[in-house]
Structures are given as structure tokens and as C-alpha cells.
Amino acid sequence: MPVRLTSTQRALAAGAAAGLLIGAFAAGAARGGDPAAAATAPGHTPAIPTADQATDAGGARVTVTGTGAVSGTPDQLMLSMGVQTSDASVSAALQRANQAVRAVTGALARAGVRRSDIQTSGLSIQPNYAANSALPTGYGVSESIDVTLRRLATAGSQISDAVRAGGNATVVDGVSLNLSETSSLLAAARARAVADARTKAAQYAKALGRSVGPVVSVSEQGGVEPPVPVAGAARSSTPSPVPVSPGRQRVTVSVTAVFALA
């Protein structure tokens, strides 16, 4: 017996058929048909490149460390000195130390050292004890100053004048030599460090059958080597000029550079 459909039932059936055709088309496109259709298919998740793919896209790289060193002649002398006194009372010992320090700083100023280059660096007051005694027999006072001597040609005479002014209370803890201006030396050291890094990168590239490409990044380490003390502790009232030999001081720079490989 024939089946009769109402107009509403026929519309519903047509809509369902259209939906099935659209779904089948989208699924087929996602499985290997049109890439644009696959990207727009319902429920489709775009593919994310793996770590290896990302590395390949960025190209091969080599990381090396280069070192550059130059040397210069120090032009400053850093002087660490002071006075030590002792007396039966704290006030007497401190007064003697103050007088000695004033004499030392006055002599340095008269010898051409700027007041701004003389800096107090320490003060110590300690009781002195006799053997097997709990009572102090006196007190010792130490006062220290740091001095920057900017002319090596006269530094020896300035030290001698300061020692003579302080008398037997004078203590010289040490001197060190310093470079006051390092910008040009650092520039030369950096150029050598970069050249060294590029040479190493070229060696690695050759071993790998590649060539060196552009620099990706550079970072720096290093700088001026610290001043080297050239005299130890001494206590003296020698009036003759102290001999000063400046020698040489190194400025070293290390760079870590990343190069692309072509």
C-alpha cells in the first residue's frame, strides 16, 4: 500500500539527507582531499610542529667561546697605610695616633696628593695585656688610610714623605698598581675575543661540512684583572724615595657567541 507523506514530513526528510551529504563531504576532505577543506572541517585540530621540525626550520647553529687579551702600563698606585700607637690610656694612645695621621696626610697633601684621594679606611682600639694577666697594661690604636697616587713618577717620593712624617708609628700595609683608563684596552680585547670566536666557529663549521653564517647572539664576560699588590706589610721611616716599577697589567674579555651555519 503506498505511503503518503505530508508536506511537513517531506521537508524534514530532505533536510536530513542534506545534512548527511555535507558531513560525508567534510570527512572525505579532511582525510586527504582539499587541504583548505580539511582545515575548515568540523572538529578538526590544526597540526602543531614538533620540536625537531622547529629546530630544522631555525637552521643549524654552533656556540663557541672566544677570548681576547691586551695589556697596558698602570698609571696609578693605590697605597694602603696608617699608624699604630700605644699608651697607658686609651685617650693618650688615640691622641698620638690622630697626630701621626694628621702628619701623614699633611705630608701627602704637600707632596701634591689631592685631599679627595685620601680616604680613612679603618680605626681599631685594643687593650694590651701582659703575660698571665687579666688586666690591661695599656692600649693600642691603629688608624688606616687609602691613598690614590696618580703620578707614578712622583709616587715613590710621596710615599717616602708620608712615612717620614708619621715617624716610627707609620705602617705600610701594601701598594697595588692600577689602570685608570681601560676603554681603549677593552675595545681591543673585545675585537680579539670576537675574532677568536669566529675562528673557532669556522673550524667547527668546516669539520661539519658547513660554512659560518651570521651571528645570532653574543654575551660578554671578563674585564680588567684586579690590581696586583707589589709590596707587603712593612714598618719603616726610610727617607729615601721608594722605587716604583709599573710593569704591565692585562685586560681580558671572553665572549660566548652563537653563529648560524649555512
Q: Please report, for the domain that includes residue 128, its CATH number.
A: 3.30.70.2970
* Residue-wise pLDDT tens digits, 165-205: 999 999 999 999 999 999 999 999 999 999 999 999 999 99
Number of structural domains, the chain? 3
With 70 as the cut, is the pLDDT of residue 66 above it?
A: yes
Do 163 and 84 fall into the same domain?
Answer: yes
Q: Answer yes or no: is 197 within a domain.
A: yes
Q: Answer yes or no: is 238 within a domain.
A: no
Q: Answer yes or no: is 211 within a domain.
A: yes
pLDDT at 131: 86
- Rg over CA atoms, the chain: 41
Mean pLDDT to the nearest integer, 41-54: 39
CB count, 10 Å around CB of 59?
11
Do 167 and 191 fall into the same domain?
Answer: no
pLDDT at 132: 84
Do 190 and 130 fall into the same domain?
Answer: no
Q: What is the CATH number of the domain that holds 211?
A: 3.30.110.170
Do 219 and 92 fall into the same domain?
Answer: no
List strand residue ranges (DSSP E) for the chain, in order. 61-72, 76-87, 118-129, 136-149, 170-178, 212-224, 229-231, 249-261
| 192 and 237 Cβ atoms separated by less than 8 Å | no
Do 65 and 192 fall into the same domain?
Answer: yes
Q: CA angle 170-172-174, nearest 5°?
A: 175
Q: What is the extent of the structural domain holding 220?
A: 61-72+183-226+249-261
Do 83 and 161 fall into the same domain?
Answer: yes
Cα gap 55→59, rounded to integer Å = 6
Do 85 and 143 fall into the same domain?
Answer: yes
* Residue-wise pLDDT tens digits, 228-253: 554 443 444 445 788 888 999 999 99
Do 155 and 205 fall into the same domain?
Answer: no
- Residue 227's pLDDT band, with cuts at 50, 70 and 90, is low
Do 104 and 198 fall into the same domain?
Answer: no
CB count, 10 Å around CB of 45?
5
Q: Answer yes or no: is 55 within a domain.
A: no
